[in-house]
Amino acid sequence: MPQPILLLKNGIRLIHKEINSPISHFGILVNAGTRDEDPDKMGIAHFVEHTIFKGTQKRSAHQVIRRMEDVGGDLNASTSKEETYFHASFLSPDYPRAVELLADIFSHSTFPEQEIEKEKDVIIEEINYYKDTPAELIVDDFETLVFQNHPMGRNILGTRKDVKHFKREDILNFIRKNYAQNNLVLASVGNISTKKLLQLCERYFADVQLVDKPTPRTAFNNYQPQHQRINKHSNQSHIMMGNLAYAITRDERTAFQLLTNILGGPGMNTRLNMAIRESKGLAYGVEAVYSPFSDTGLFTIYIGCEHDTIDQCIDLSYKELKKLCQNKLGTMQLHYAKKQFLGQLAIANEAKLNEMIALGRTALFFEEVESTEESIEKLNAVTAEELLHAANEILIPDQMSTLIYGKP
């Protein structure tokens, strides 16, 4: 049976998975991120994520921090291209404290001017950190390269120039335009009954007032492969390669997730790791990532290597892509690829915070959320023919963009 999505009286969705655990997780997920910003306000979605914790109508910034930390809990948030997450992890008896606090932050934050000014400096230091971390920076720069002047290409942190000029009204405008009743989900994984959690959410989220629908998004539909090399003074070179991939709503998504895992997932036996690291010793970091979005997706390969082995690493990558496009997986290859992927997913779900966010994100995009058993059945149903089809739609060398941080 699908995981049920409940509705509060004011229309906000709630999804909860009850587990027997001393630790629980509760969060607010909003389908609003950097692609929803105005062109001259790049980074404002991330700025909202930071400043929303800086005081409410009844709590100072210090009181917000202490409310969970005084009982050993953790309060955090994150921003992506399309979503913003606010969440808490805590001892299960503290559910009322966590739900009340997150509701207070979400509904009654005051965004004090003095806190806004301080947080500008914090975020500028965060930007500086990423600029000094090429393995992180290249991911954002690659997305900017692929999506060109489209909102999907905006850097999540923004620029130092834009951040310096943010005002309180910019924060409120972004929330008013993009935080809507139909793009908000409350998600929970923890040791509380659904009935009791629903009562808590009805109590503390009853006065949430949002617009019915967010500002419409502009679809990205004019992709052209891009190639760029940037000189960097670093100890190694960094390579990003990739192509557009399936949107989150596409049926082919499951097959392509499996294909990406075969190619460059976390295992040491992936095609790319065996070809580049284990066989040749050319790189330490090698991975492939598939990121599905609401109306598109992105497939990427990252490699960190010696300056003089860039071309060799790219050639080896293309050879592995070609093999997956030309050769259908055998029965045993497919069997063990599925077993490995399912095992990795099970281990990842041991981190219940990740599971809570995954449940909530799915509820943002779908009317039903698959149960674990249904997800396993769907993965086990993937055929070698579907993998071959997905490879020939996405893993096409001529359609790959490349970004290289190399030696001057």
- The pLDDT tens digits for 62-115 are 999 999 999 999 999 999 999 999 999 999 999 999 999 999 999 999 999 999
Task: Record the pTM.
Answer: 0.93
Per residue in 286-308, pLDDT (tens digit) is 999 999 999 999 999 999 999 99
Question: What is the pLDDT, as a whole number, of residue 366?
Answer: 92
* 240 within 8 A of 288, measured Cβ to Cβ: no
Question: What is the pLDDT, as a whole number, of residue 372?
Answer: 84
Statement: residue 2 has pLDDT above 80: no
Statement: residue 279 has pLDDT above 80: yes
Average pLDDT over residues 45-63: 96
Question: What is the pLDDT, as a whole number, of residue 116?
Answer: 96
Give the model's confidence band at 211: pLDDT under 50 very low, under 70 low, under 90 confident, else very high.
confident
Statement: residue 214 has pLDDT above 90: no
User: Which amino acid makes up residue 34?
Assistant: T
State how far the Cα of 355 lies from the Cα of 378, in Å rounded to an integer: 18
Statement: residue 1 has pLDDT above 80: no
Instruction: Provide, rounded to the nearest whole percent, the portion of the chain with pLDDT above 90.
Output: 89
State how far the Cα of 244 lies from the Cα of 293, in Å rounded to an integer: 10
Per residue in 355-365, pLDDT (tens digit) is 999 999 999 99
Question: What is the pLDDT, as a whole number, of residue 213?
Answer: 81
Statement: residue 373 has pLDDT above 90: no
Instruction: Provide, rounded to the nearest whole percent, the portion of the chain with pLDDT above 70.
Output: 100
Question: What is the pLDDT, as a whole number, of residue 138?
Answer: 96
List of domains in the chain? 5-204 (3.30.830.10), 227-406 (3.30.830.10)
Average pLDDT over residues 265-276: 96
Beta bridge partners of 27: 87, 187
Question: What is the pLDDT, as a whole number, of residue 207?
Answer: 87
Per the prediction, the chain carries an average pLDDT of: 95
Statement: residue 371 has pLDDT above 90: no
Question: What is the pLDDT, as a whole number, of residue 188?
Answer: 98
Statement: residue 379 has pLDDT above 90: yes
Give the model's confidence band at 228: pLDDT under 50 very low, under 70 low, under 90 confident, else very high.
very high
Per residue in 6-27, pLDDT (tens digit) is 999 999 999 999 999 999 999 9
